Amino acid sequence: MSIARAIASPLRRLAPVAVRQPSRMCFSSSRNLQATWGFIGLGRMGFAMAKNLRAKLPAEDTLFVQDVNTAASRKFLEENSQGVRIADNVREVAEKAETVITCLPEPQHVKGVFKQMLEPATLLKDGVNKERLFIDCSTIDPMTSAAVASDATSTGQGIFIDAPMSGGVVGAQAGTLTFMIGAAPEVVEQATAVLSMMGRRILHLGAQGAGLKGKLANNYLLALNNIATAEAMNMGIQWGLDPKALAGMINISTGKCWPSEINNPVPGVIEGSPASRGYEGGFGVALANKDLGLALTSAKEANVKLALGDTAKALYDEVERAENCKGKDFSVVYRYLGGRE
Ligand code: NAD
């Protein structure tokens, strides 16, 4: 069975998480197969990821890059002149590259780019005569991802896996991202070899779409924990508790979570946290809200009942608009609630 047909087979239930560690063996097995690569979307994440990819590829391989923002492509070429070509458009990337990585903002961008890449359905005739491996690292909804995957596989032009990531811009620059992948078992090793050039941990969650489902479930929990932490800290401080003492107690108690321990929203509680730097840097409130919205839409689509999602979304919408909060780390919810700074 071809890999395209395998991935098109009915979605199987989520398998236990398999953590893949990068290995030279994985890399060299892909090396025999790959010589041309594509990267589309050289934004905050993609630029650094493509840079790491290029640095780890054999010198004789070629990386075709494309971004609607031509300044980003030009800058990438300036910084990585060896073995990099700017493609005229995304169709050219798909024709020339055997493996194509996309890192785009939202579902409509992924849909649009894949439409251009896959139509007409003659990639194998017009370019490299081989099924492509498409790896989409964008955080989008699983329904759009499945539709795009089907367009790729049903036309026999390639296989498509979802590989959303966590680790932020700092992780992208350091090459330490975590990728959550949804892929047929046959392509996991190859995808792991590719992603290991940009990240440290590759978690295979199941069939196509599973990576996004895992990512959105996690970010839903994070969005709620962030609000709950801000409220609990604000509550305790208003009651007269010392912020550090309160956080220290929570962090050895049952309320402990990432926002309380690592990204505490109260300035001064954790040295170097976004809150302690005027909420600069970190995980932008708009991105957190975008992921929450995707989780809610996808949950509705699957008839999953959520008690807190809509309330949280309404709050993030307000925080995103508030003059003293917009553009800041999402822990700025604490400021929005009137927390003492
Ligand atoms: P970004 O907006 O900085 O970059 C996206 C890039 O895609 C831009 O350079 C844009 O010009 C380009 N682009 C848009 N449409 C295009 C098209 N039609 N053809 C070619 N290029 C096009 O976004 P980002 O921060 O790099 O995030 C990318 C994805 O990764 C998003 O889905 C985001 O949710 C996810 N993500 C981001 C972070 C983060 O910390 N920034 C962390 C994890 C996941």
pLDDT digits (tens, 9 = 90+) for 140-164: 999 999 999 999 999 999 999 999 9
Tell me which fold the domain 214-336 belongs to: N-(1-d-carboxylethyl)-l-norvaline Dehydrogenase; domain 2 (1.10.1040)
Residue nearest to atom 21 of ligand 1 (CA): 67
DSSP-assigned beta bridge partners for residue 202: 20, 179
CA neighbor of 51 nearest in space, from 89, 20, 81, 31: 81
For 271-291, how does the pLDDT look when each residue is reduced to its tens digit (9 = 90+)?
999 999 999 989 999 999 999
- Cα distances (angstroms) measured from residue 53 to each of 21, 62, 74, 185: 17, 11, 17, 23
| Substitution candidate for ligand 1 out of 45, 68, 219, 280 with most atoms within 8 A of CB | 45
Of 295, 297, 277, give the one whose Cα is nearest residue 287: 295
CATH 1.10.1040.10 intervals, the chain: 214-336
CA distance 292 to 304: 14
Is pLDDT of 133 > 50?
A: yes
Helix (H) or strand (E) holding 158: strand 158-162
Using the predicted structure, report yes or no on whether residue 189 has a pLDDT greater than 80. yes
Give the pLDDT score at 19: 46
Mean pLDDT score across all residues of the chain: 91
Ligand 1 centroid distance, CA of 206 (Å): 24
- Expressed in angstroms and rounded, the spacing between residue 139 Cα and the centre of ligand 1 is 9
| Torsional class of 101: left (φ above 0), alpha (ψ -120 to 50), beta (otherwise) | beta
Higher pLDDT, 48 or 28: 48
Instruction: Provide CB contacts within 8 A for 25, sequence distance 6+.
Output: none
Our CA angle for 215, 221, 222, nearest 5°, is: 85
CATH architecture classification, 3-207: 3-Layer(aba) Sandwich (3.40)
Beta bridge partners of 38: 64, 100
Q: Is 139 in the pocket of ligand 1 (CB under 6 A)?
A: yes
**What does the pLDDT average to over 220-228?**
98
CB 54 within 8 A of CB 42: no
Q: What is the DSSP letter of 274?
A: G
Q: What is the pLDDT of residue 81?
A: 83
Specify whether 256 is catalytic: no
Query: What DSSP string describes 84-146?
Result: EEE-SSHHHHHHH-SEEEE--SSHHHHHHHHHHHHSSS-HHHHS-SS-EEEEE-S---HHHHH
- Mutation test residue for ligand 1: of 39, 51, 67, the one with most atoms within 8 Å of CB: 67
CATH 3.40.50.720 boundaries in the chain: 3-207
Name residue 76's beta-bridge partners: none
